[in-house]
Structure 1
Amino acid sequence: MSKLLISVTSAEEALLALEGGADIIDMKNPHEGALGALPHSIVRQAVEAVDGRRITSATTGDLPMQPELICQAVMQMKMTGVDIIKVGFFGSERDNMACIHALQPLIAEHKLAMVAVLMADIAPQLTLLPLLREAGFWGAMLDTAHKDGRSLLAHMSEQELREFVHLAAGMQTGLAGSLNIENIENIVKMKPSYVGVRGAVCEGLDRVAKLCKSRVSALRVLLYNYNKSVESADLA
């Protein structure tokens, strides 16, 4: 059953997402790119507001794939108390692999729950998935780097998304990227561990506008119904 991840920008929005029924509350700055990082103080405030009632996550930013820089960002974000730390993989295969190898001992030593985010619109390297699993990553996620109105489904076919979920077996899987109410039903059919949303639950469907609790609640109900339909189809 796919769970609901809602991206928020503040402690206030974190509480709205919580009350609306989000399973994972994700701290991200939509003004700073696909994986824009919020100030550590705001992440910390949001984590404290959620107070363990939901899983929390936070992005480290749209960073160049330099192992020392990535590791430093991860350890700084760890200090906020957030449950899951998300790192975007934007570089060449060589640079991405170097960052994975650098993060592996940190994951083991500090028991970090980490999610690798691959970008569907800039040639996602699915060959990294076995390496991420071996390195101890908690999960892997597909998102879109360019927020130009095109959704994840405009960049990857349903078959390709199924392949991603299959190759990431053994980790939690997430699908996101300008998803709206109309295409989330198809996304659930891919059976990801969670579905990530921001714009679809904001006022005016604008990802940089304020989060709307009623939209979160409505999506929560739809997601539940979509999950039930998938389960029924599997039993048929």
Structure 2
Amino acid sequence: MIEGLRRGRPAFLASVTNADEAEIALAGGADIIDCKDPASGALGALPASTVREIVSRIGGRLPVSATVGDLPSDPQVMSAAAIAMAETGVDVVKIGFFGDEDPREAISAAGAACSSRAQLVAVLMADRAPDLDVLPVLRRAGFSGVMLDTADKAAGSLTSILSVRQLTQFLRAARANDLFAGLAGSLRESDIAGLTGLEPDMLGFRGALCPSGRKGAVEAGRVVQVRRAIDQARLAKVSSETSAA
């Protein structure tokens, strides 16, 4: 499991596009720095040189993850992309599965090629009818975790696409397969309290950190606001549980 993840306290994953944004996210209280190019798709990949610079700048102070891009579920393509991203020195490689074809062969190939080089996290698309039957395949292939995200950023946020019941089903299925579970997909600050109550291991943000939208720049104040909202939601949940006891 990624260092810093604690069950019941969702880690704050902040997606950044360069080393300067990574420093802003670190200073503002992010738990995980995620390298992603929103201009290149839902899980657009940054150039390897940029990812290396981010890894160097963070210098081991936080875990760093990186996406491999919006790729087809082709075993050779995914394996090569995962290896290339792992070689940048990131702690976690995120691989998206967009529901375009059966991902099982690609999952197995990526795991065999890369699970010893970096932790692997699968990203399933909430707006592409994610198949939870692949979770056991992920675990057998050596993946550490799985996240929900959205492929079409114009189609709405994760919370507008899936119900609380569906999100809970996903989280339970992930844990039943010994995978840590994260939620992302155009999440807003207003989503944090409700999602924290579901006890995900991770909440991922990009657009909420950028005043001009996900393709704009990360702003320090927005990072601090999200950090504060996560902490407040967790304290409120603990207080509620204590009162109920």
Deviation at 1:25, TM superposition (A): 0.4
Aligned to 1:231: 238
TM-score normalised by L of structure 2: 0.92
Corresponding residue for residue 145 of structure 2: 139
Q: Which of 189, 198, 208 is the equivalent residue of 1:181?
A: 189
CA contact (8 A) 1:64 1:91 kept: no
* Counterpart for residue 13 of structure 1: 21
Deviations 1:67-121 (A, max 9, x none): 0000000011111101100000124553x0011121232245x242000000000
Question: Which amino acid is the alignment partner of residue 126 of structure 1?
Answer: L
Inter-partner Cα distance in structure 2 for 1:43 and 1:59: 10
- Alpha carbons 1:58, 1:85 under 8 Å: kept: yes
Question: Which residue matches 2:42?
Answer: 34
Which residue identity lines up with residue 210 of structure 1 in the other structure?
A
* d(CA) in 2 for partners of 1:189, 1:209: 30
Could you say which residue in structure 2 is the equivalent of 1:127? 133
- Listed one character per residue, the Cα deviations across residues 129-180 of structure 1 (whole Å, up to 9, x for unaligned) are 1211222211100000001161101111001101111100121211000111
Contact 2:97 2:124 in 1 (8 A): yes
CA RMSD of aligned residues (A): 1.3
% identity of equivalent residues? 44
Equivalences for 1:60-79 in 2 at 5 Å?
60-79=68-87
Aligned mates of 2:210, 2:23 — CA distance in 1:
14
- Residue 113 of structure 1 aligns with which residue? 119
- Alpha-carbon deviation of 1:233? 2.9
- Per the normalisation by structure 1, the TM-score is 0.95
Match of 1:90 in 2: 98
What is the number of residues matched between the two proteins? 233
Q: Cα distance, 1:232 vs. partner?
A: 2.7
Instruction: State how far apart, in whole Å, the 2-side matches of 1:30 and 1:10 are.
Output: 12
Structure 2: which 5+ runs fail to align? Answer: 1-8
Q: Is the 8 A contact 1:100 1:131 kept in 2?
A: yes
